Amino acid sequence: MAKEWPDVIVLDVEMPRMDGITFLKKIMSERPTPVVICSSLTPRGAETTLQAMAAGAVEIITKPTTGLKNFLLESAPELVSAIRAAAQVNVRNL
CA atoms within 13 A on the CB side of 29: 8
- The answer to whether the predicted template modeling score (pTM) of the entire model surpasses 0.85 is yes
* Residues 9-93, CATH architecture: 3-Layer(aba) Sandwich (3.40)
At 2 the pLDDT is 79
Give backbone dihedrals phi and psi of 28, rounded to 5 degrees, phi first.
Answer: -65, -30
Q: What is the chain's pLDDT, residue by residue, as a tens digit (94 residues)?
A: 779 999 999 999 998 899 999 999 999 999 999 999 999 999 889 999 999 999 999 999 998 888 888 988 999 999 999 999 999 998 876 6
* Predicted pLDDT of residue 94: 62
State the number of CA atoms in the 13 A half-sphere of 1 facing the CB: 8
